[in-house]
């Protein structure tokens, strides 16, 4: 009975929606409500490859995909490096202090995602806090164009996704067998060598999981680019969002989603394998 309920939830709320997305990529835009003619109707197959043609013919979408993957990679790499450093700090704190430090990592996130981004807007915009301080100090005469740039976007991305990296890394590093590192030191390894030859290799699966845990959702991010990024820097999440909400081209949004899923299939499978192996 439990398994029946579980299958029902998974098929109804996960598998079927994903199947519909893939199918809808072969639909045709329409002016009705909903604004789409589904690929299968009363008379059987009535789908088209229009949406997919659009994606493959227009290099705009290819560029968009590449830019998204690049942003996701850079975000994940920065989160991994910073997250690893922070996780090492937390894991080497006294055990009684660790929950408090983890809470300090998580607490800022309960101000709400959107509000946190507005804080960055307030900091970075032309009459914002950073420009104000720099001008008062006389470092600059004119405000720097900080907001709506790739730098601001990356800052917001790393800020938002950092806990995703810190949590699994802390879990892995706090559990590690310290006597292995002591053994390495005892055998003559200097601290940097101990880290490179023992700590890092043993944490590699957790690091890979942390990277993917940031990379996968970051590849489809919508809100952060919308609030902090340059308006002309097109990303795949924004493209799907735009096709759906502005152009109202549902098949295009669905085809782009399917393409994004296909691109993320390998990272997702890799992540699931890593998290099962744990």
Partner 1 sequence: MRRALLTLGLLFLWAPVLLLAAYAFSDSRTPFEWGGFSLRWFGALARNERILEAAWLSLRVGMAAASLATLLGLALGWVLARHGPFVGRPVFGALAGAPLVLPEVVTGLALLLLFVGLQALTGWPSQRGAVTVWLAHSALGMAYVAVLVQARLAALDPRLEEAAADLGATSFVTFRTVTLPLIWPSLAAGWLLAFTLSLDDVVVASFVSGPGATTLPVYLFSQLRLGMTPEANALAVVLLGFASLAGAVAWAIRGRAG
Show contacts with partner 1 in window 17-36 (CB under 8 A): 17-18, 20-21, 24, 34
Q: Using the rule CB under 8 A, is 277 a contact of partner 1?
A: no
**Closest to 223 in 3D by CA, of 146, 65, 105, 115:** 115
Site for partner 1 in 49-88 (CB under 8 A): 82-83, 85-86, 88
Rounded Cα gap, residues 121 and 115, in angstroms: 10
Burial string for 101-125 (b: 16+ CB within 10 Å, else e) reads bbeebeeeeeeeeeebbeebeebbb
Binder to partner 1 among 77, 121, 135, 154 (CB under 8 A)? 121
Out of 31, 44, 114, 175, point to the residue binding partner 1 (CB under 8 A): 114
3-class SS of residue 163: helix
CA–CA gap between residue 139 and residue 50 (Å, rounded): 54
Sole binder of partner 1 in the list 49, 62, 63, 109 (CB under 8 A): 109
Closer residue to partner 1, CB minimum distance, 184 or 220:
220
Q: Between residues 55 and 253, which has the closer beta carbon with respect to partner 1?
A: 253
Q: Is 111 in the site for partner 1 (CB under 8 A)?
A: yes
Interface residue with partner 1, options 31, 95, 96, 103 (CB under 8 A): 103
Among 37, 74, 123, 134, binds partner 1 (CB under 8 A): 123
Q: Could you give the angle at the alpha carbon of 20 between the alpha carbons of 18 and 24, nearest 5°?
A: 120
For residue 237, CA distances in Å to 145, 211, 225, 253, 257 come to 24, 19, 9, 10, 9
Binding to partner 1 (CB under 8 A) within 127-156 occurs at 127-129
H or E stretch at 44: strand 44-45
CB 224 within 8 A of CB 235: no
Quick one: which segment of 44-52, 59-67, 126-134, 177-185 binds partner 1 (CB under 8 A)? 126-134
Site for partner 1 in 217-276 (CB under 8 A): 217, 219-223, 226-227, 237, 240-241, 244-245, 250, 253-254, 257, 260-261, 264, 268-269, 271-272, 275-276
- Does residue 126 interact with partner 1 by CB under 8 A? no
Residues 194 to 223 in contact with partner 1, rule: CB under 8 A:
212-213, 216-217, 219-223
- Judged by beta carbon, residue 91 or residue 184, the one nearer partner 1 is 91
Report in angstroms how near the CB of residue 153 gets to partner 1 at its nearest. 14
Nearer to partner 1, 125 or 150 (CB): 125
Element (H, E) at 217: helix 200-219
Total residues at interface with partner 1 (CB under 8 A)? 86
Q: Closest Cα partner for 64 from 232, 197, 227?
A: 232
Maximum distance among all Cα pairs of the chain, rounded to whole angstroms: 77
User: Counting every residue, how long is the chain?
Assistant: 278
């Amino acid at each position: 009975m439990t398994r029946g309920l579980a299958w029902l939830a998974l098929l109804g709320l996960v598998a079927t929606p994903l199947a519909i997305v893939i199918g809808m990529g072969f639909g045709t835009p329409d002016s009705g409500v909903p604004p789409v003619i589904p690929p299968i109707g009363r008379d059987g197959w009535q789908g088209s490859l229009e949406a997919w043609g659009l994606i493959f013919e227009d290099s705009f979408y290819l560029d968009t995909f590449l830019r998204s993957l690049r942003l996701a990679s850079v975000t994940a790499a920065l989160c991994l490096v910073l997250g690893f450093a922070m996780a090492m700090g937390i894991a080497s704190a006294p055990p009684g202090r660790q929950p408090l430090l983890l809470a300090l990592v998580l607490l800022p996130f309960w101000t709400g995602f959107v509000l946190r981004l507005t804080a960055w807007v307030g900091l970075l915009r032309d009459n914002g806090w950073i420009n104000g301080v720099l001008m008062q100090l006389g470092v600059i005469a004119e405000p720097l164009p900080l907001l709506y740039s790739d730098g601001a976007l990356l800052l917001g991305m790393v800020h938002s996704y950092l806990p995703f990296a810190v949590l699994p890394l802390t879990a892995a590093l706090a559990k590690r067998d310290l006597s292995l590192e002591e053994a390495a030191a005892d055998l003559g390894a200097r601290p940097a060598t101990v880290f490179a030859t023992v700590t890092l290799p043993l944490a590699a699966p957790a690091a890979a999981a942390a990277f993917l845990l940031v990379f996968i959702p970051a590849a489809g991010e919508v809100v952060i680019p919308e609030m902090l990024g340059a308006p002309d820097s097109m990303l795949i999440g924004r493209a799907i969002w735009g096709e759906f909400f502005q152009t109202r081209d549902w098949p295009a949004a669905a085809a782009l989603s399917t393409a994004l899923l296909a691109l993320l299939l390998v990272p997702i499978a890799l992540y699931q394998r890593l998290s099962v192996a744990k």
